Amino acid sequence: MSAPILEVSGLGKRFGGFVALENIDLKVAPGERLGLIGPNGSGKSTLVNCICGTLINDTGTVQFNDRDLKGLITHERTRLGMARSFQLPRPFFSMTIADNIRVPLLYTLNAHRSEEQIAARCNELLGLVGLAGKATQFPRDLTQVDMRKLELARAMAVEPKLLIADEAMAGLSGSEVTDIVNLLITLNERGITVILIEHIMSAVMQFSQRLVVLVSGKKIADGAPDIVIRDPEVERAYLGQ
């Protein structure tokens, strides 16, 4: 494996007495498509939050492009090239779809972009996710699947090297799921490393080059998808619930 783009080592997180994550090690190679699965409450979102700086891990380190992220708050990590979508979409409700995308465009590139460049990039991103026709609508008028697409477009607007999609497909129909998977694969083909967190196994299997399994805050498997899902420990964890 080439030098990892993301390296999590010995990461632990507690909520009061409850251990949400314990001694997590995870390496992600540049350009990789990683699937992260686990039963409800196993700590997937918590791991994302620790990686992105929304939560502060109690132990361990997170390194991004060989840089220790300790002490960096979320927007600083975002500006380094780390983007995420939220499990429950969190659009800026008072803004139009286009303006939702403008916020990261205005705040993430160090080089100053002209108004035209921003507008162009905004249109490009909306076109990429298929929301071009809805640029002037408001988030409350969007369907679930469009909301997910907006979430991804906004994450893409920070020009990330790594994209973490936290359950980008929950509640979508079969064809919509395929839509999003294809979208994520397209993004990956453009050189973006993608971590996908997902419960829908068909989507995970279709997407992932490697699979990591979390159960009760511990990593119990890490490897090729078809091998991992036949791992007895993984089967037990999923049957157990």
Ligand X SMILES: Nc1ncnc2c1ncn2[C@@H]1O[C@H](COP(=O)(O)OP(=O)(O)OP(=O)(O)O)[C@@H](O)[C@H]1O
E strand or H helix that includes residue 36: strand 33-37
**DSSP SS3 for 62:** strand
What mask of x and - would describe binding to ligand X in positions 44 to 63, judged by CB under 6 A? xxx-----------------
> What are the structure tokens assigned to 95, written together?
């803004």
**3-class state of residue 159 by DSSP:** coil
45 binding Mg ion? (CB under 5 A): yes
Please spell the DSSP secondary structure of 92-114, one letter per residue.
Answer: -TTS-HHHHHHHHHHHH-SSPPP
| Segment 85 to 114, residues that bind Mg ion, using CB under 5 A | 87
Q: Which residues of 93-128 are buried (b: 16+ CB within 10 A; e: fewer)?
A: eeeebbbbbbebbeebbeeeeeeeebeebbeebbeb
Tokens 């497909």: give the residue: 169
Give the nearer residue to ligand X in terms of CB position, either 2 or 40.
40
- Return the one option of Mg ion, ligand X, other proteins, none that residue 66 interacts with (CB less than 5 to 8 A, by type): none
Piece of the chain touching ligand X by CB under 6 A; list 1-9, 36-44, 63-71, 203-211: 36-44
Cβ distance to ligand X smaller for residue 122 or 163? 163
- Given other proteins, Mg ion, ligand X, none, residue 96, with its beta carbon under 5 to 8 Å by kind, binds other proteins
| Chain residues in the site for other proteins (CB under 8 A) | 16, 52-54, 73-75, 78-79, 83-84, 86, 90-96, 99, 102-104, 106-108, 136-138, 141, 154-155, 157-158
